[in-house]
Amino acid sequence: MFSTNYPSIHINIIAIRDNYLAIRDYVSPSVVVSAVVKANAYGLNSKIVSDCLYDAGCRDFWVAYLNEAIDIRSVLPYDANIYVLQGFDSCDIDLLKQYRITQVINSIEEFNVAKNHGLDLVLFFDTGLSRLGIRGNDIDVLLPDIKNENVSYVISHLACSEDMYSPYNLKQKKLFDEILLKISEIKSIKAGISASGGTFLGPEYQYDIVRIGKFLYGIQVFPEILKSKNVVSIRTKVLQKYSIPIGEGVGYGFTFKASRNTKIAVVSIGYADGIKRALSNSGKILFYNNNGELYKAPILGSVSMDLLTCDVTTIPDDCTCIGHEAVLLDDNYTIDDMAAESGNIPLEILTGLNYRSSRMHINYYM
């Protein structure tokens, strides 16, 4: 029998489904709401997430690599469309056909390898993000061959979509529209430029498809427009509790020294579990009493590999006794909150949690 002191992650699959349905209700009925499930659904298990979203009506899924696509095809019927965003070689052609997977083409070189093989393709144009993508001024080179290919969508990606007033959004949109206009002169085409952020910039940014990632997983984009439900919570236990006098240091390097007599609670979790060291002396640990009242304890000192220490001086003793539950993420202290206090972005917090470790117990609520 193992001790129950090790930390656990609780993943609310129903909340992911509800976030998908909320976006679907928000956009026009003609707009396809697709799900980004790359990086193992941002760490939350791409098979479980994809299966849930398929049951909710989602039929379009985006991954980064072909092996991810093949992995989720095992739970997705063949009427579901799976798109591979990056990396293509001629040796992939047979697998793309076998598993009915659509390849995203990011360069003229990739297009020349893919053409004339009867593949389903998506053309990705870089309109200003300056990462992967066909250069906008290369469209004229591609036009003669595009007509004969099975192009599901022409897409791009906004660099500043989470700034509603950024002039770069309109700049990228104008370039994208110019590319679409040229293609439309030779064939009918469907298009998409927006991920979660761009979806809220208005109907003119939604086109035929939107690619929803972070909103699905409880990360806020424009909560004043539509709020995403929290998906992830992390719980652990208090291992030890004691008091230190004024002037005594806490943790490696004594980055915290007590300015008063301080009660310390030591909890069982650390950076080996994906808790960022940047939360040292800045993050919070949550405690609840039997009536559900919330108390927030500041993290003191450096985040260690396996342990955190926090200040529970002003918190009732019955909330912080040895064996009591300590909460690192929940509806009252979300990934967005943790990211703000650690100087990270929410996606780095979410994907950085150590889901596969035997140190961490995973629970799914379905």
- Same domain, residue pair 259 and 184: no
- 């979790």: which residue's tokens? 269
Structure confidence at residue 357 (pLDDT): 81
303 and 171 inside one domain: no
For residue range 24-53, what is the model confidence (pLDDT) as tens digits?
999 999 999 999 999 999 999 999 999 999
- 5 has a pLDDT exceeding 80: no
Kindly report, residue by residue over 284-311, the tens digit of the pLDDT. 999 999 999 999 999 999 999 999 999 9
Structural domain count of the chain = 2
The per-residue pLDDT for range 109-166, each reduced to its tens digit, is 999 999 999 999 999 999 999 999 999 889 999 999 999 999 999 999 999 999 999 9
Q: Does 99 share its domain with 204?
A: yes
**pLDDT above 80 for 363:** yes
Kindly report the CATH number assigned to the domain that includes residue 269.
2.40.37.10
For residue 12, count other CB atoms closer than 10 A to its CB. Answer: 21
- For the cut 80, the answer to whether the pLDDT of residue 1 exceeds it is no
Whether this prediction's pTM lies above 0.75 is answered by yes
Catalytic residue among 38, 214, 237, 284: 38
Instruction: Give yes or no for residue 3 having a pLDDT over 80.
Output: no
Are both 154 and 20 inside the same structural domain? yes
Would 4 be classed as within a structural domain? no
Residue that finishes a domain, picked among 189, 217, 245 = 217
- Would you say residue 341 lies in a domain? yes
Active site residue 38: yes
> pLDDT at residue 281 above 50?
yes
In a domain, 22, yes or no: yes
Q: Which two tokens stand for residue 193?
A: 């430029």
Domain limit, last residue, from 164, 193, 217: 217
Integer CA distances (angstroms), 325 to 6, 268, 317, in order:
11, 10, 13
Domain with 55 in it: what CATH number?
3.20.20.10
Q: Which domain holds residue 52?
A: 13-217
Residue owning tokens 């360069």: 107
Choosing from 97, 147, 174, 252, the catalytic residue is 252
pLDDT at 315 over 50: yes
Q: What pLDDT does residue 4 have?
A: 67
Helix extents (H) in 5-149: 13-26, 38-42, 46-55, 66-73, 93-98, 108-114, 139-146
Question: Looking at residue 359, what is its pLDDT?
Answer: 87
Q: What is the pLDDT of residue 211?
A: 98
Residue 162 and residue 304 in one domain: no
Say how far apart CA 300 and CA 357 lie, in whole Å. Answer: 25
* Residues 149, 246 within the same domain: no
Mean pLDDT of the chain: 96
**pLDDT at 56 exceeding the cut of 50:** yes
C-alpha 237: how far from chain center:
27
Same domain, 132 and 64: yes
